[in-house]
Amino acid sequence: QVQLVESGGGLVQPGGSLRLSCAASGTIFNILIMGWYRQAPGKQRELVATITTDGRTNYADSVKGRFTISRDNAKKTVYLQTNGLKPEDTAVYYCNLRAGVGAQYNYWGQGTQVTVSS
């Protein structure tokens, strides 16, 4: 069974940084895209960043220039470097993986809490 495990969340002051990690385990064929989404209380889940196997990236406008997504294909791990954190970045961050022909498989992690506050 495929599992995604996030780590690296925590409490940080405004302007601080965190590096989130998501490691995939289990048998996975043809990984296409890995990414990060986030959900704040009372709000819908939103896309933060995605990265394809060949390294193409996409970012939400709200994090562009501050966050960087990367991946290690051999380790089946995706990272999110978050710099210049703002209080509005506070949310549960979820790892997402799409795999298979036509991205027929869609997996989610349990989430890791990021809190930006003084």
Encode pLDDT of 36-91 as tens digits: 999 999 999 999 999 998 899 999 999 999 999 999 988 889 999 999 999 999 99
Mean pLDDT for 106-111 is 96
Q: How far apart are CA 102 and CA 32, in angstroms?
A: 9
CB 30 within 8 A of CB 43: no
> Which pLDDT tens digit goes with each residue over 82-102?
999 999 999 999 999 999 888
* pLDDT score recorded for residue 68: 98
The first and second tokens of residue 42, run together, are: 């009372």
- DSSP secondary structure letter of residue 107: E
Q: What share of the chain is helix, strand, coil (3-state, %, to 5)?
A: 5, 55, 40
* pLDDT score recorded for residue 71: 94
- In this prediction, residue 18 has a pLDDT band, given cuts at 50, 70 and 90, of very high
